[in-house]
Amino acid sequence: MSCLPAGFSVSGSSSPIFNNRERGSSLSSRVCSSIGGLQFRGSNSKEIWGNTLDFPDQKGFSNWSNKSPNLDPVYAQGTLSFPKKAQKWWEKSLQPNMVEIESAQELVEYLRNAGDRLVVLNFFSPGCGGCKALHPKICQLAESNSNTIFLTVNYEEHKPMCYALHVHVLPFFRFYRGADGKVCSFSCTNATIKKFKDALAKHGTERCSLGPAKGLEEKELLALASIDLISKDLVPLSSPEEEKVQELVEAAKSSSFSIDESKVELKEGNAMVAA
């Protein structure tokens, strides 16, 4: 609803029509044929309060001037319509178990918190015709496999992350499952969709794996951390020296000799066990 002060004038070639919806009400107005406009003289402006101004033609109504700013306002009703935002093809037919990844940090956390559920990582590009053609079928498979998590990564928006993960062909898919981490990866199109269905059937069966979800490989985490896409806290603290020391500790435990673990020392560039 627009508010216009009583006494305003409208300049233009077309003459507006005042439509008084209250029977018996009077209105003091005058049509100025010389300028093709309508003026309200504010002596009785409350009588037109809340009524509607109908304009049959909007041409020429580019200049509005207020003649009496101190008079009571007149309300004119109108309708504004805004066109709906067009939905992008990769946003259509999405299922509740389909999530678009916004950052590398979010990807790592999703994979680590998936438990024993199968996670399908889908790399796509808005300009990829094969990705667009395959999208409806992926949505159908997501609907029929509600216990599987489908994560999508927009290649155009996350190129550094895709480079670090060695993704160079689209559409591209990675399958992750619990403590096994990545169980397979491949590229497929509509013509080779059977490859996707077979992987889904093989790795989507109910089972229980030992240990927490592995997610990305350590070298991939290091690559992402090196370009500040994830926190360094997400990279496991392991090194060949530490692993060697641990192997020695475990070997000592299984032998007839005892070892004081508090005396195990790790020196940079050289692993040394002292008893």
What gap in Å lies between CA 9 and CA 234, rounded to an integer? 68
Is residue 184 part of the annotated active site? The answer reads: no
Answer whether 191's CB lies under 8 Å from 137's CB: no
Domains in the chain: ranges and CATH: 2-76 (no CATH), 89-233 (3.40.30.10), 240-273 (no CATH)
Residue 172 main-chain phi, psi, to 5 deg: -135, 140
Check residue 126 and report its DSSP letter: T
pTM here is: 0.58
Pair of tokens at residue 41: 């003289």
Tell me, what's the pLDDT at 211? 79
Tell me, what's the pLDDT at 206? 78
Write down the catalytic residue from 3, 32, 128, 188. Answer: 128
Query: Can you tell me which residue has the tokens 């003459």?
Result: 15
Tell me, what's the pLDDT at 162? 96
**C-alpha closest to that of 89 among 43, 180, 174, 154:** 154
Tell me, what's the pLDDT at 238? 60
Answer whether 1's CB lies under 8 Å from 78's CB: yes
> Splitting the chain (275 residues) into consecutive groups of 10 residues, what average pLDDT does each group show?
46 44 45 43 50 51 51 60 78 94 96 94 96 96 96 97 95 95 94 95 81 91 93 75 49 44 36 36
**C-alpha closest to that of 231 among 242, 219, 222:** 222
Tell me, what's the pLDDT at 251? 53
Is residue 128 part of the annotated active site? The answer reads: yes
Write down the catalytic residue from 3, 32, 131, 162. Answer: 131
Answer whether 75's CB lies under 8 Å from 50's CB: yes
What gap in Å lies between CA 224 and CA 245, rounded to an integer? 27
What gap in Å lies between CA 111 and CA 113, rounded to an integer? 6
- Separation of first and last alpha carbons in the chain: 86
